[in-house]
């Protein structure tokens, strides 16, 4: 009975064992990048390697593990001579570890563990892929770069033997323009959702349509004067935050984020209170310049959160900065005309300007407390 069971099981095994599928030739290249280091595995069909290298030493059509092991050096050398990876214009070294085997739908594959080191921390990998280019023109390398739910993929080989694949989400579309636009959007979006920056700007804009004379607000005689004042203020802010943003993104300066965030909140408090009780001496643009330096470090923090490493490409930095400017301009375009129209009214001078500024100062003080003491107040 036992023998019968074994026989039956073996028959079923034979019957059920699926024939490996017919499919075009592919290799599967999975890479992960950590700092300057590359780790990965490369699955290459043994059938294809046999066509190129003649692995089946005794020619019996049955490829044994011994026959594969004997040619390990040749397999690794053949494969690695047809794959090169570069980052930042410099080639990365690449070595293969001891091979294993795995099964895919069309049969058995050798698995080459890969290890590599690049000269710089890669933002993108430039991959030149020529495996089996001379024996099978329809062969492709299916690249999977990165782990988790959202890896980059690419189909390597064929008419496009050299491809550049970005590593980060922001650069997903590959070329510089798409990256620029992506960062531009990030910058503008950050201004839109960055309430501290918005309130700081509004604090600076509210009094721009008025001028303080003898301890009281007077109307600015011409729109041109108000616009010039705003232009000076906004430009000073932009120049200042661009400088610190660049310094932080390039890794020259890296102040602790808690201090930076607290200082930004403090800058909002001071700018708002200054509208009620003038405490900052000198013109408003000078204040914008000084506080702008602080806000630049804040933007750098956002940029780092987006996954942009230190020493980032100039193009993404520029895109982000321009996005911030566009966001600011949108706020100016919304606030300034309204303030100009309302500037003569009692409501604006006696209620909106002082009360609005005080309200802004109050919110910013709460932020300051939260950030300086690292606590979260409910409901704010």
Footprint on this chain of another protein (rule: CB under 8 A): 1, 4-5, 8-9, 12-13, 15-26, 41, 46-48, 50-51, 56, 61-66, 68-69, 98, 100-108, 111, 132-140, 142, 153, 155
Residue among 132 and 200 whose Cβ is closer to another protein? 132
Minimal distance in Å, beta carbon 300 to another protein?
39
Pairing of strands 140-145, 26-34: parallel
Of residues 131 and 240, the one with the C-beta less far from another protein: 131
Backbone angles phi, psi at 150, to 5 degrees: -130, 65
* 162 alpha-carbon distance from chain centroid: 23
**Minimum CB distance to another protein smaller for 72 or for 219:** 72
Q: Judged by CB, which is closer to another protein: 23, or 258?
A: 23
Q: How far is the CB of 348 from another protein (least distance, A)?
A: 58
**Residue 51: CB minimum distance to another protein, A:** 7
Nearer to another protein, 153 or 169 (CB): 153
In whole angstroms, give the CA distance from residue 327 to residue 241.
14
What the block records as the tokens of 297 is 């470090």
* 287: its two tokens: 């204040």
Whole-angstrom CA distances from 377 to 234, 269, 337 are 32, 18, 35
Residue 359 CA, chain-centre distance (Å), reads 35
CB of 196 to another protein, least distance (A): 45
| SS3 label, residue 84 | strand
Q: Which two tokens stand for residue 246?
A: 């660049």
CA-closest candidate to residue 202, choices 283, 288, 278: 288
Q: How far is the CB of 113 from another protein (least distance, A)?
A: 8
Nearer to another protein, 64 or 169 (CB): 64
Residue closer to another protein, measured from CB, 108 or 239: 108
* Minimal distance, residue 57 CB to another protein, in Å: 12
Contact predicate 112/131, CB 8 Å: no
CA proximity to 122, closest of 173, 87, 172, 153:
87
d(CA 74, CA 223): 78
**Alpha-carbon distance 41 to 144, whole Å?**
10
* Closer of 97 and 278 to another protein (Cβ): 97
Give the separation between CA 217 and CA 130, rounded to whole angstroms.
74
CB of 49 to another protein, least distance (A): 10
CB 182 within 8 Å of CB 315: no
DSSP state of 18: P
Give me the least distance between CB of 73 and another protein, in Å please. Answer: 16
Determine the Cα angle at 147 with ends 142 and 149, to 5°: 95
> Which CB sits closer to another protein, 10 or 351?
10
What's CA 199's distance to the chain center, in Å? 27
Nearest residue (CB) to another protein, 13 versus 222: 13
In a 3-state reduction of DSSP, which class is residue 292?
Answer: helix
Closest distance to another protein from the beta carbon of 312 (Å): 31
Nearest approach, Cβ of 140 to another protein (angstroms)? 6
Q: Is 153 helix (H, G, I), strand (E, B) or coil?
A: strand
Residue with token string 């661009």? 242
């Amino acid at each position: 009975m036992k023998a019968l069971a074994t026989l039956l099981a073996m028959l079923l095994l034979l019957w059920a064992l699926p024939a490996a599928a017919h499919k075009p030739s592919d290799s599967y290249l999975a890479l992960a990048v950590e700092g300057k280091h590359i780790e990965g595995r490369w699955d290459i069909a043994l059938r294809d390697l046999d066509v190129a290298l003649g692995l089946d030493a005794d020619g019996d059509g049955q490829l044994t593990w011994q026959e594969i092991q004997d040619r390990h050096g040749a397999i690794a050398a053949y494969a690695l001579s047809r794959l090169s990876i570069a980052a930042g214009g410099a080639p990365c070294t690449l070595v293969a570890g001891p091979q294993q085997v795995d099964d895919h739908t069309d049969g058995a594959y050798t698995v080459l563990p890969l290890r590599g080191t690049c000269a710089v921390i890669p933002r993108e990998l430039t991959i030149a892929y020529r495996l089996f280019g001379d024996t099978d023109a329809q062969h492709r390398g299916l690249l999977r770069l990165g782990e988790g739910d959202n890896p980059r993929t690419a189909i390597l080989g064929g008419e496009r033997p050299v491809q550049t694949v970005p590593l980060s989400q922001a650069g997903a579309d590959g070329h510089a323009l798409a990256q620029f636009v992506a960062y531009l959007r990030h910058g503008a979006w950050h201004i839109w959702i960055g309430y501290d920056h918005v309130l700081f700007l509004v604090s600076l804009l509210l009094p721009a349509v008025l001028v303080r004379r003898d301890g009281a607000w007077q109307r600015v005689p011409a729109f041109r004067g108000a616009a010039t004042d705003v232009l000076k203020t906004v430009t000073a802010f932009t120049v200042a935050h661009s400088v610190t943003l660049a310094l932080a993104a390039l890794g020259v300066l890296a102040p602790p984020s808690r201090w930076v965030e607290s200082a930004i909140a403090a800058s909002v408090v001071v700018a708002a209170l200054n509208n009620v009780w003038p405490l900052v001496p000198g013109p408003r643009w000078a204040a914008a310049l000084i506080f702008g330096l602080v806000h630049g470090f804040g933007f750098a923090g956002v940029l780092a959160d987006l996954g942009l490493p230190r020493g980032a490409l100039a193009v993404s930095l520029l895109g982000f900065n321009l996005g911030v400017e566009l966001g600011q301009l949108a706020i100016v375009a919304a606030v300034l005309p309204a303030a100009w129209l309302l500037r003569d009214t009692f409501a604006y001078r006696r209620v909106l300007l002082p009360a609005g500024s005080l309200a802004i100062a109050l919110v910013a003080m709460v932020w300051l407390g939260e950030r300086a003491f690292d606590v979260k107040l409910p409901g704010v």
